[in-house]
């Protein structure tokens, strides 16, 4: 098998791609927008690699009275296995 060295620009590109992944740890991976007549400004649930954010408390309050379990960062094992 013939080994060919990666070209320098491809190596650089790989490094850049790798570095570009770092910000992913600090921005939400998933954003859920909720719309209701009583919330003209909208409600937002933000899911980061390591936590829940946005209007979690308000959403929990609303979910509570339709019988949904409340959302807490600690209840999701996924948040603990992320690198930060």
Q: Which of 64, 70, 72, 82 binds other proteins (CB under 8 A)?
A: 64
Question: According to CB under 8 A, which one of 7, 35, 65, 69 is a site residue for other proteins?
Answer: 65
Identify the residue among 13, 22, 53, 61 touching other proteins (CB under 8 A).
61
Within 8 A by CB and 6+ apart from 45, the residues are: 31, 32, 34, 52, 53, 54, 55, 56, 59, 71
And the tokens for 16? Answer: 């850049």
Q: Tell me the Cα Rg of the chain.
A: 20
Binding mask 5-34 for other proteins (x = CB under 8 A): ------------------------------
Which residues here bind other proteins, judged by CB under 8 A? 57-58, 61, 64-65
């Amino acid at each position: 098998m013939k080994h060919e060295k990666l070209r320098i620009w491809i190596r650089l590109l790989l490094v850049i791609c790798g570095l570009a992944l770092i910000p992913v740890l600090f921005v939400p991976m998933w954003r859920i927008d909720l719309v209701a007549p009583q919330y003209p400004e909208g409600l937002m649930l933000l899911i980061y690699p390591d936590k829940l954010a946005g209007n979690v408390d308000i959403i929990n309050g609303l979910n509570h009275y339709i019988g949904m379990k409340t959302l807490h960062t600690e209840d999701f094992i996924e948040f603990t296995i992320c690198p930060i």
